[in-house]
Structure 1
Amino acid sequence: MAHRLFGSQTSLREANRALLLDTIRRFGAMTQIELAENTGLSTATISNLVRQMGEQHLLETSSTTRNGRRATLVMLARQKGLGVGLYIGRHEMRLELVDASHTILAEHNLALPHNHKPDTTLERAMILIKETLTSIGAGMDELVGLDIALGAPVDCRTHQLAIPGILKGWDNQDLIGTFREAFNVPVSVDNDANYAALAELRMGIAAGKRHFVYVHANDGVGAGIIINGEPWRGTTGLAGEIGHVQVDPLGDICICGNRGCLNTVVDESRLVSLLSVTHGTMTLEDLVSSVNQGDPGCRRIVADAAIRIGNVVADLCNAVDPQVVVLGGILGTTGSVFLDPLQETLQRMLFPDAMVPMEVLPARYPITGPALGAAMMAVDKVNEHIAVSSQSAGQTS
Structure 2
Amino acid sequence: MDDRPGSLTSLRSRNRLLVLETVRRHGRISRVGIARATGLSRTTVSSLVADLLAEGVLTESPAASPPGAASRGGRPATPLSLNPEGGGLLGVHLRHTDVRVLLADLSGGVLGERHRVIDVDHKPDQTLEFVAETALDLVATEGRDLGRVFGMGVAVSAPVQSRSHTLNSPSMLTAWSGIDIAARLRDRVGMPVHVGNDANLGALAEWTYGAGRGVHDLVYVMLSDGVGAGLILDGRLYEGPTGTAGELGHVPVVDGGYVCRCGNRGCLETVVGARALTSAFSHVRGPDTTIADLVALLAADDPGARRVVADAGRMIGRALAGVCAMLAPRLVVIGGEVAAVGRILLDGVRDELARRLSPAIGHDVEVAAGRLGDRAEAFGAIVLATHQTSAHLLKP
**TM tier, smaller:** 0.7 to 0.9
- Counterpart secondary structure, 1:160: coil
Q: Counterpart in 1 of 2:295? A: 288
- Look up the equivalent residue of 1:144 and give its one-letter code: F
Does residue 224 (structure 1) correspond to residue 230 (structure 2)? The answer is: yes
- Counterpart secondary structure, 2:176: coil
Aligned-residue CA RMSD in angstroms? Answer: 2.2
For the residues of structure 2 that align with 1:199 and 1:114, how far apart are their CA atoms? 22
- Look up the equivalent residue of 1:163 and give its one-letter code: S
Does residue 118 (structure 1) correspond to residue 124 (structure 2)? The answer is: yes
Is contact 2:150–2:391 with CA below 8 Å preserved after alignment?
no
Q: Counterpart in 1 of 2:91? A: 85
Distance 1:354 1:155, change over 3 A: closer
Map 1:245-256; keep pairs closer than 5 Å: 245-256=251-262
Q: Which moved more, 1:106-115 or 1:367-376?
A: 106-115
- Look up the equivalent residue of 1:135 and give its one-letter code: T
Q: Which runs of 5+ in 2 are unaligned?
A: 1-60, 62-82
Map 1:132-143; keep pairs closer than 5 Å: 132-143=138-149
Map 1:181-260; keep pairs closer than 5 Å: 181-260=187-266
Q: Counterpart in 2 of 1:71? A: none
Displacement after TM superposition at 1:108 (Å): 2.0
Is contact 1:212–1:323 with CA below 8 Å preserved after alignment?
yes
> What CA deviation, in whole Å up to 9, does each residue of 1:54-103 have, x standing for no partner?
xx9xxxxxxxxxxxxxxxxxxxx933121100000111101121122222
Does residue 272 (structure 1) correspond to residue 284 (structure 2)? The answer is: no
- Look up the equivalent residue of 2:133 and give its one-letter code: I
Is contact 1:347–1:357 with CA below 8 Å preserved after alignment?
no
Distance 1:114 1:383, change over 3 A: closer
- Counterpart secondary structure, 1:327: strand
> What CA deviation, in whole Å up to 9, does each residue of 1:97-150 have, x standing for no partner?
112222221222111137441111111111110111111101221211111001
Map 1:16-165; keep pairs closer than 5 Å: 78-113=84-119, 115-165=121-171
Is contact 2:249–2:269 with CA below 8 Å preserved after alignment?
yes
Q: Counterpart in 2 of 1:65? A: none
Is contact 2:150–2:393 with CA below 8 Å preserved after alignment?
no
Q: Which moved more, 1:265-274 or 1:284-293?
A: 284-293
TM-score (norm. length: structure 1): 0.74
> What CA deviation, in whole Å up to 9, does each residue of 1:145-201 have, x standing for no partner?
111001222232443332234234122210111112122322111111111111111
Distance 1:253 1:293, change over 3 A: same
Displacement after TM superposition at 1:304 (Å): 0.9
Is contact 1:78–1:105 with CA below 8 Å preserved after alignment?
no
Is contact 1:81–1:143 with CA below 8 Å preserved after alignment?
yes
Question: Of 286, 307, 312, which residue of structure 1 is paired with 2:319?
Answer: 312
Is contact 1:83–1:99 with CA below 8 Å preserved after alignment?
yes
For the residues of structure 2 that align with 1:172 and 1:290, how far apart are their CA atoms? 43
For the residues of structure 1 that align with 2:159 and 2:95, how far apart are their CA atoms? 11
Does residue 373 (structure 1) correspond to residue 380 (structure 2)? The answer is: yes
Does residue 362 (structure 1) correspond to residue 375 (structure 2)? The answer is: no
Is contact 1:302–1:331 with CA below 8 Å preserved after alignment?
no
- Counterpart secondary structure, 1:368: helix
Displacement after TM superposition at 1:240 (Å): 0.4
For the residues of structure 1 that align with 2:270 and 2:380, how far apart are their CA atoms? 27
Is contact 2:221–2:333 with CA below 8 Å preserved after alignment?
yes
Distance 1:293 1:149, change over 3 A: farther
Displacement after TM superposition at 1:380 (Å): 4.1
Displacement after TM superposition at 1:227 (Å): 0.9
Displacement after TM superposition at 1:293 (Å): 4.3
For the residues of structure 1 that align with 2:391 and 2:362, how far apart are their CA atoms? 39
For the residues of structure 1 that align with 2:219 and 2:100, how far apart are their CA atoms? 23
Is contact 1:327–1:366 with CA below 8 Å preserved after alignment?
no
Distance 1:204 1:247, change over 3 A: same
Is contact 2:231–2:239 with CA below 8 Å preserved after alignment?
yes
Q: Which runs of 5+ in 1 are unaligned?
A: 1-55, 57-76, 391-397
Displacement after TM superposition at 1:386 (Å): 5.1
- Look up the equivalent residue of 2:196 and give its one-letter code: D
Displacement after TM superposition at 1:295 (Å): 2.9
Is contact 2:251–2:268 with CA below 8 Å preserved after alignment?
yes
For the residues of structure 1 that align with 2:391 and 2:139, how far apart are their CA atoms? 23
Displacement after TM superposition at 1:255 (Å): 0.8
For the residues of structure 2 that align with 1:141 and 1:378, how far apart are their CA atoms? 15
Is contact 2:217–2:329 with CA below 8 Å preserved after alignment?
yes
Give the number of equivalent residue pairs: 314
- Counterpart secondary structure, 1:79: helix
Is contact 2:294–2:341 with CA below 8 Å preserved after alignment?
no
TM-score (norm. length: structure 2): 0.74
Displacement after TM superposition at 1:246 (Å): 1.4
Residue identity over aligned pairs, in percent, reads 37
Is contact 2:314–2:352 with CA below 8 Å preserved after alignment?
yes
Is contact 2:328–2:361 with CA below 8 Å preserved after alignment?
no
Map 1:377-388; keep pairs closer than 5 Å: 377-382=384-389
- Look up the equivalent residue of 1:186 and give its one-letter code: P
- Counterpart secondary structure, 2:371: coil
Is contact 2:155–2:198 with CA below 8 Å preserved after alignment?
yes
Displacement after TM superposition at 1:374 (Å): 0.8
Is contact 2:104–2:112 with CA below 8 Å preserved after alignment?
yes
For the residues of structure 2 that align with 1:328 and 1:121, how far apart are their CA atoms? 24
For the residues of structure 2 that align with 1:317 and 1:96, how far apart are their CA atoms? 33
Q: Which moved more, 1:267-276 or 1:169-178?
A: 267-276
For the residues of structure 2 that align with 1:292 and 1:81, how far apart are their CA atoms? 42
